[in-house]
Structure 1
Amino acid sequence: MEKKACKAHVLVLPYPSQGHINPMLQFAKRLVSKGIKATLATTVYLSKSMHVDPECSIAVETISDGYDETGLEDPASLAAYFDSFRTVGSHTLTMLMKKLDDIGQPVTALVYDPLFPWALDVAKQFGVLKVAFFTQSCAVSNIYYHVNKGFLPLPLSGSDVSIPGLPLLQPSETPSFVYASESTPQALHDFIMNQFSNVVDWMAKLWKLGTVGPTLPSIYLDKRLEDDKVYGINLFKPNTSACMNWLKDRQSGSVVYVSYGSVTDIIPEQMEELAWGLKESKCYFLWVVRESEETKLPKKFKEETSDQGLVVSWCPQMEVLAHESVGCFVTHCGLSSVLEAMSHGVAMVAMPGQFDQPTNAKYVEDVWGTGIRALPNEKGIVTREVVENCIKKIMEGEKGKEVKENATKWKNLAREAIDEGGSSDNNIDQFVAKLLLH
């Protein structure tokens, strides 16, 4: 069995963004812990800015999206970029799998992001196991599936959206590609919905589904993987010492942590409202503002709030959320951020932007009860007064106590399920068993 395990090799292909890389990377680490070799494939362009932990157990290889020097900055349109990624990506993924075969490391299974349905066609050429790894929530995938099959016609009509297995949703609580379908570029709409294009028939017949989350570093969950404290790959260099040194001087539960993730851009008006809302809350705050977004901050904001807050370009989010001084997380509700907060028992102020974030925010407030939503005005802006009020509700009010109790409850439930040998590890074991027999 050990000899076979050494020969098994999984190639992991995520969409090249932090929120897709992290969960697939953590899945790969679990495979490595069970004797499987794992390699992560990313684009040439992205690899140039990646910060890889030298202790990371996952090998990294590259494929091309056709824009090795510029990435998304150069293509004439999204349609041109996606078309290039499909054509050039298919070719270079094929070449990579041939190269790995030639050097004695043949791929046994391709675990691919379903945003790349063409990867399945490449895998078929090599006769390897094919696994679609959905990095968004089951609820969001459920909505996209119903759109793809025509069960949920677009544009949406009516005041409610009813989908089997989900709570009743308002149109604005569906992913932005659904509720704003008429303003979504066709190429982007197709890119998102086509992730089911060549697995739909398979789903309809078998629905062979396995949950493997939360896909977070083991030290924060079951501690089964030694020294697994960080994801191991960052697209931005974190200001670790600055963040952690600042946090250690703050009282327990006194800090509001704010981050809009690695992709979402905030319009200048929203940035200004968020900034002054944080200031007026009178709470300490640690705010992640990427370098590309810094010019949107109000003039002299950092200087005027230097005694109250710290603004950094990136931070080690898992370490920050685990710190006892953090009492609240103002988040864009990317799924990774939501799961990280829930796994640490941190209450959230949900300020969703686009993509899957509105649906995640719905679950945060109305299903799990681990946070409250900061609702926008008629112009789509969350005002400073709303930001201030929501933060105070979490940090000071009765609602905050209820939300924090729910957050703690979910954290404990997650750990109890994992300690008892939950479905996540069992599903990984089943996958490994199938892999070794392939």
Structure 2
Amino acid sequence: MGKPHAILVPYPAQGHVIPMMELMQRLVKHGVKVTFVNTHFTHKLVTDALSEDDKLNDLASLVSIPDGLEAGDDRFELGKLSDAIFRVMPEKLEELIEELNGKGDDCEKVTCIVADTCMGWAFGIAQKMKIRSVAFWPASGVVLASLICIPKLIEDGYIDEKGTLMKKQMVQLSPTMPAISSSDFTWLSIGDLKTQQSLFDLIQKANEFMKLADYLICNSAYELETSTFTSFPHILPIGPLLASNRVAKQIGHFWKEDSTCLTWLDQQSIGSVIYVAFGSFTVFDSRQFDELAVGLEMTNMPFLWVVRPDMFEDMKNDGFDDRISKRGKIVGWAPQQKVLNHPSVGCFVSHCGWNSVLEGVSSGLPFMCWPYFADQLINRVYVCDVWKIGLEFDKDESGIITREEIKNKLEKLLEDDEYKVRAVDLKEIAAVAVGRGGHSDKNFSSFIDWIEERDT
């Protein structure tokens, strides 16, 4: 018998590609052949960002298919991107699988498709081609539960059939789960109304396609979201994937990492550095950017700040670089897992994307939460209200987080040792989940056993 051969299909966004890459590394470690299918656009970003030292396992290969957009189109227009994907990629994926299966004895036939739930159309392809399929949710269990509960949310009048918010109030998806605001539903904080409705339609389709999948796995841990996984037992947590994959370097980034920041961190005192990073989507206007810059300066503490080239509009430097040059460092993209595990880092100012949340949790760091959109608003609830390992910045009446608010909240977080104590405790909980015999470890072992079964 040949090796099992899994096709992996992530949604083409940084926060979706990285955890799917983590999953790929775990699969090949267990002897599974993997063909990782990015869009042409994200494939180029990922391969361009790889260094000469980033060598893939012989069982892994990276390929690409078109996403349906033109070269100059804006991939940040998520509604337009998702519509194009649904229109073009199913046929291209089917053609790719037929090509792989036609290569003869030198290449094992595809036995399984593992697709992001947002790419649920792939489960239809799997059914058509009589291939088993796995739905992979790269974010938190509670957010997935909120998407699965959409019919109930419509029935109870929180949203209408187009996903529009009908009443703003706290919602409990089950009696034991934390309450979340109905205004924080994932699709309601992305773009304009047209984009929100387009993404809501994508979610509805994904919910239907997800019913075709044989398995539903999630990059979270039972110990982190016990009430969610108790209430929704068909969602199987296998994470945090990063915490179980320290031996391999993280790949899948869209920008080259600037490792000079690690040398700079070596020169700082233990627990003294504020690490500031907002992921791949967050954008600031010039006023908010300046408030953050001055607020960090006012703390009189060393800080490492990740500033993507496309992150701000018309930044006013005003000599800021010179003023902070002795105790601040700015990089375009950082090796985040290494940074967060560095002993000099004392806290994480984060947009609360789920990958960053898991990385911060697995490093035992307290958070300052600055959510931007999508699932980040609900993730903040877990960080601040459930786990109690962080604080949230408050905006003023004009919607700005002021320099004084930034300085005061950072000082409050770092002066209260209880946040750090709880963060270290949570780190141990995450480690137990992926350790031998932990819930995630057991679920992943069962998943591997299922993948290795040749008879469908």
Q: TM-score, normalised by structure 2?
A: 0.85
Structure 2 letter corresponding to 1:37: K
Alignment check: 8 A CA contact 1:172 1:179 kept = no
**Number of positions where the alignment pairs a residue of Structure 1 with one of Structure 2:** 420
Tell me the residue number matched to 1:285.
303
CA separation of 1:141 and 1:82: change in aligned 2, threshold 3 A: same
CA distance in 2, matches of 1:350, 1:235: 23
The alignment partner of 1:291 has SS state of coil
**Which segment drifts farther, 428-437 or 335-344?**
428-437
Which residue of structure 1 aligns with residue 198 of structure 2?
Answer: 187
Counterparts of 1:185 and 1:414, CA distance in 2:
33
Given the superposition, is the C-alpha separation of residues 172 and 212 from structure 1 closer, same or farther in structure 2, using an over 3 Å criterion? Answer: same
In the TM superposition, residue 266 of structure 1 has moved relative to its aligned partner by 2.2
Q: TM-score by structure 1 length?
A: 0.89
- Alignment match, 1:162: 172
Distance 1:373 1:80, change over 3 A: closer
Name the SS of the counterpart of 1:115 in structure 2. helix
* Residue aligning to 2:421: 405
Residue among 366, 370, 391 paired with 1:351: 370
Percent identical pairs in the alignment equals 31
Aligned to 1:52: 50
CA deviation after TM superposition for structure 1 residue 371, in Å = 0.8
Whether the 8 Å contact between 2:306 and 2:331 is mirrored in structure 1 is yes
Q: Which residue of 1 aligns with 2:111?
A: 108
Give 2:333's aligned residue.
314
1:210 counterpart (201, 221, 236): 236
Alpha-carbon distance, 1:232 to partner? 2.2
Give SS of 1:286's match: strand
1:326 Cα deviation (Å)? 0.2
> What SS does the aligned partner of 2:149 have?
helix
Q: Secondary structure at the match of 2:330?
A: strand
Offset at residue 151 of structure 1 (A): 4.3
Correspondence for 1:249 among 267, 290, 296: 267
Point out where structure 2 has 5 or more consecutive residues left out of the alignment: 160-164, 217-231
State how far apart, in whole Å, the 2-side matches of 1:372 and 1:81 are.
34
Matches of 1:208 and 1:140, distance apart in 2: 15
> Does structure 2 retain, via aligned residues, the 8 Å contact 1:111–1:133?
yes
Number of the residue aligned with 2:222: none
Contact 2:435 2:441 in 1 (8 A): no
Map of 1:224 onto structure 2? none
Distance, in Å, in 2 between the alignment partners of 1:184 and 1:81 is 10
Question: Is contact 2:16–2:138 with CA below 8 Å preserved after alignment?
Answer: yes
Structure 1's unaligned 5+ residue stretches are 221-226
Partner of 1:341: 360
Paired residues of 2:243 and 2:430 also in contact (CA < 8 A): no
Identify which range, 376-385 or 131-140, moves more after superposition.
376-385
The equivalent position to 2:385 in structure 1, one of 366, 369, 391, is 366
Letter in 2 for 1:140: V
Trace 1:74-223 onto structure 2 (pairs within 5 A). 79-103=79-103, 104-149=107-152, 150-151=154-155, 153-154=158-159, 155-164=165-174, 165-175=176-186, 177=188, 185-200=196-211, 208-216=234-242, 218=244, 220=246
Q: How has the CA–CA distance of structure 1 residues 320 and 182 changed in structure 2, closer, same or farther, with 3 Å as cutoff? A: same
Cα drift, residue 296 of structure 1: 4.3
Letter of the structure 2 residue corresponding to residue 48 of structure 1: K
Q: Which runs of 4+ in 1 moved over 4 A?
A: 77-80, 178-184, 200-204
- Aligned pair partner of 1:23 in 19, 24, 28: 19
The separation in 1 between residues aligned to 2:21 and 2:328, in whole angstroms, is 32
Decide whether the 8 Å contact of 1:162 with 1:168 is kept in 2. yes
